[in-house]
Amino acid sequence: MPLWIDSHNHLQDARLGDPQPVVAAMRDAGIEQCVVNATHEGDWADVEQLANDHPGFITPVFGIHPWRADTATTGWENRLVDLLEKYPQSSVGECGLDGWISSPSFDVQQPVFQTQLRIARELDRPITIHALKAWEPLFEAFEKQPPPRRFLMHSFGGSWEIAQRLLPLGAFFSFSGYFLHSRKSAVLETFRKIPRDRILLETDAPDMLPPAEFITHPLAENRNHPANLASIATALAKSLDITPEVLANMTRENHACWISDFNPNSSASD
Ligand SMILES: [Zn+2]
């Protein structure tokens, strides 16, 4: 059985219920690790707890999601740095920019995002970026505050042109099952062009539900179970004309390169 890594989910989300059976189902489905992303200060402690309960299985990511940018309270930057220093395996996210929502506005989102870019760069940690209908604002943010040496564009739904602009900056791109919907086939086309050593897999559970035929672990109210990853990955492998085993090995190596085995001597930090 191929072994998979879910490079982006939200196991702390109350919509998934008790994390214990969720983690057990993931292990049964061949998922050997996952990255759990906080979304606002209010769930940092939950993500921390999960990482402590499942060492080696859960990698924590702490940050503020653009939808929650207006909830940041005084001193949040210092508390974020403290958490990142407490957990050397942790990184920054989920953060980014979203032009699909009308509130909070980019004016509120931008400073919160740029602060997280700065912290990631200063601490030399990877960062997980959410960008939706926000490509030019994203590049504007990068001009003011360059990203750290490696970053993940999670649930990447951009074009090949956008990917080409992000690649030289250090981007990795994770594929989520939502893009298996036939109306989203352009995203699969983009993933066929992205260099293989920059591709990762994710569920974004409990969000980004794949089409029905790829759901192996159904949940109520259209929630996405992270154990659906194996079936999502198998579908991506088919689209890339490789075996699931090759995709599993490739994405596990890429994941290690992105988040774990960073060699400070191997890339220019400008
Ligand atoms: Zn997410």
Q: Ligand 1 centre from 93 Cα, in Å?
A: 9
Indicate whether 265 pLDDT > 60: no
Protein residues with C-beta less than 5 angstroms from the ion ligand 1 = 94, 204
pLDDT value, residue 176: 97
User: How far apart are alpha carbons 174 and 128 in whole angstroms?
Assistant: 10
Could you tell me whether strands 91-98 and 199-202 are parallel, antiparallel, or unpaired per DSSP bridges?
unpaired
CA of 135 relative to ligand 1 center, distance in Å: 17
Average pLDDT, the chain: 95
- Give dist(CA 214, CA 161) in Å, integer: 28
Distance 38 CA to ligand 1 centre (A): 8
Fold type of domain 4-23+44-52+63-260: TIM Barrel (3.20.20)
CA of 175 to the centre of ligand 1 (A): 12
Cα 240 to middle of ligand 1, angstroms: 24
Span 222-255, pLDDT tens digits:
999 999 999 999 999 999 999 999 999 999 999 9
Cβ atoms within 10 Å, residue 141: 23
Residue 268 scores a pLDDT above 70: no
> What pLDDT shows up at residue 157?
97
CA torsion through residues 104, 106, 109, 112, sign:
negative
pLDDT classification of 261: cutoffs 50, 70, 90: low
| Residue 6 pLDDT greater than 80, yes or no | yes
| Cα 29 to ligand 1 centre (Å) | 21
**What tens digit of pLDDT does each residue of 101-155 get?**
999 999 999 999 999 999 999 999 999 999 999 999 999 999 999 999 999 999 9
Question: Alpha-carbon distance 51 to 222, whole Å?
Answer: 26
How far is 34 from 56, CA to CA, in rounded Å?
9
Q: What is the pTM of this model?
A: 0.95
Q: Where are the domains of the chain?
A: 4-23+44-52+63-260
User: Got the DSSP string for the chain?
Assistant: ---EEEEEE-TT-GGG--HHHHHHHHHHTTEEEEEEEP-SGGGHHHHHHHHHHSTTTEEEEE---GGGGGG--TTHHHHHHHHHHH-TT-EEEEEEEESSS-SS-HHHHHHHHHHHHHHHHHHT--EEEEEES-HHHHHHHHHHS---S-EEETT----HHHHHHHGGGTEEEEEEGGGGSGGGHHHHHHHHHS-GGGEEEE--TTSSPPPGGG-SS--GGGPPPGGGHHHHHHHHHHHTTS-HHHHHHHHHHHHIIIII---TTSS---
Which single residue is written with the structure tokens 């699931």? Answer: 244
| Per-residue confidence band for 260, with pLDDT thresholds at 50, 70 and 90 | low
Alpha carbons 159 and 266: distance in angstroms, whole number: 28
**Model confidence band, residue 269 (pLDDT cutoffs 50, 70, 90):** very low
Q: How many angstroms separate the most distant Cα atoms in the chain? A: 50
pLDDT of residue 76: 98
**58 C-alpha to ligand 1 centroid (Å):** 15
> Could you give the percent of the chain with pLDDT greater than 90?
95
Contact assessment for residue 251 and residue 199, using Cβ atoms and an 8 Å cutoff: yes
